[in-house]
């Protein structure tokens, strides 16, 4: 679909500088622009590309002032915040690519299940007994939804997702391909012969509103009660969240994080990739944990943690500086010992 500069400026409350009739039909990074593409410039680090870009339209901040000639084919749209305005356009573009409401065949919906209005249900999907699917939900092909699952309106579930029985998914959540919600927690107890006996996992998983779950991530059901991912939390790909874990509001974690059972993570926490959190611990609000940290104890509100085992990031940096100098320190120590031996050998 084509849009001209005047239409885009109207959407963004911006001002056109150049050809108001210039049309675009695609989005592109400014350094990869081409004829018919719309780009944006928000970070001055990329300013050099605006002088060579082949994009037709570029969204810039009101404060942008070119230091040299722009391409003659480039039209600018000046806005208050180029980054947020481009994000708005991306959201609009994404909404235009959504599937039209329909139920594809073959698919299975149990007679006892409740299906809302304007849903998309892809082929080879399964909706189990007593489940409730809200309005405007999109369920892509090959999704399995178990018994008594609740899914709130506007949620999108991509191909290959499995949601086990009794789980509750809030409004406007996004669950990416291959994710598993509600598999059994890792609950086993050794008997007198040392053989592991399975502990039944009878709880569920609750995802509150606006939660994102990345591809091939897993959220285990609780042994009893609920594993809870609270409102606005963002979970990257390949993350493992154990049974009875609670993740706070607007907390974000990068790929390959592993959280053991019964750990409580606070609100607005940032967790880097490949972090491991031991079980039965607490992470305070607004804490930040650097990538590849291993944490076994509680973390206070606002703490910054690095290392494995993880500790305060400033102390870690000082310790790491000493560690890097350790070979030179050992060499110097050896030289001093040799000198002492030389000075004392005749005494």
pLDDT value of position 125: 98
Domain 3-96, classified CATH 3.40.50.300, yes or no: no
Residues 153, 159, 161, 165, CA torsion sign = positive
Pick out the chain residues at pLDDT < 70.
310-311, 346-347
Provide the pLDDT for residue 324: 78
Torsion, Cα of 24, 25, 27, 30 (10° steps): -30
Catalytically annotated residues: 243
Q: Could you give the CA distance from residue 242 to residue 270 in angstroms, rounded to a whole number?
A: 18
Determine the pLDDT at residue 311.
67
Domain boundaries, the chain: 3-96, 161-309, 312-344
| DSSP string over 53-96 | ---SEEEEETT---SSPPPTT-EEEEES-HHHHHHHHHHHHHHH
Contact 245, 264 (CB under 8 A): yes
Q: Is 161-309 in CATH node 2.160.10.10?
A: yes
What was the pLDDT predicted at 346? 64
Hey, is 121 helix, strand or coil?
strand
State the pLDDT at residue 7: 93
Q: Let me know: does 129 contact 110? Beta carbons within 8 Å.
A: yes
Encode pLDDT of 162-196 as tens digits. 999 999 999 999 999 999 999 999 999 899 999 99
Predicted local distance difference test score (pLDDT) of residue 38: 95
User: What gap in Å lies between CA 279 and CA 295, rounded to an integer?
Assistant: 10
Q: Are 3-96 and 161-309 equal in CATH topology?
A: no
């Amino acid at each position: 679909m084509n849009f001209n500069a005047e239409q885009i400026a109207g959407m963004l409350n911006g001002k056109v500088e150049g050809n108001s009739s210039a049309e675009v039909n695609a989005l592109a990074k400014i350094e990869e622009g081409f004829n018919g593409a719309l780009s944006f410039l928000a970070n001055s680090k990329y300013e050099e590309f605006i002088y060579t870009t082949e994009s037709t339209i570029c969204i810039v901040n009101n404060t942008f002032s070119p230091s040299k000639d722009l391409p003659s084919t480039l039209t600018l749209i000046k806005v208050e915040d180029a980054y947020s305005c481009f994000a708005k356009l991306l959201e609009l573009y994404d909404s235009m690519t959504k599937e039209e409401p329909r139920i594809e065949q073959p698919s299975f919906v149990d007679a006892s299940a409740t299906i809302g209005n304007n849903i998309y249900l892809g082929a080879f999907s399964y909706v189990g007994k007593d489940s409730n699917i809200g309005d405007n939900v999109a369920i892509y092909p090959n999704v399995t939804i178990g018994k008594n699952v609740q899914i709130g309106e506007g949620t999108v579930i991509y191909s290959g997702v499995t949601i086990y029985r009794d789980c509750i998914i809030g409004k406007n959540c996004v669950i990416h391909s291959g994710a598993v919600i509600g598999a059994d927690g890792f609950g086993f107890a050794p008997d007198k012969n040392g053989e592991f006996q399975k502990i039944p996992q009878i709880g569920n998983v609750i995802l509150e509103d606006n939660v994102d779950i990345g591809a091939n991530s897993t959220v285990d059901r609780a042994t009893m009660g609920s594993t809870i991912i609270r409102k606005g939390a963002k979970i990257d790909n390949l993350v493992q969240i154990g049974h009875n874990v609670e993740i706070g509001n607007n907390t974000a974690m990068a790929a390959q994080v592993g959280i053991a059972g019964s750990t409580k993570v606070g609100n607005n926490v940032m967790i880097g990739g490949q972090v491991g959190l031991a079980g039965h611990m607490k992470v305070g609000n607004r804490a930040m944990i650097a990538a590849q940290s291993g944490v076994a104890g509680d973390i206070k509100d606002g703490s910054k943690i690095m290392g494995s085992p993880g500790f305060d990031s400033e102390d870690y940096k000082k310790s790491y500086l000493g560690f890097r100098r350790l070979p030179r320190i050992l060499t110097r120590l050896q030289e001093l010992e040799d000198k002492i031996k030389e000075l004392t050998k005749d005494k």
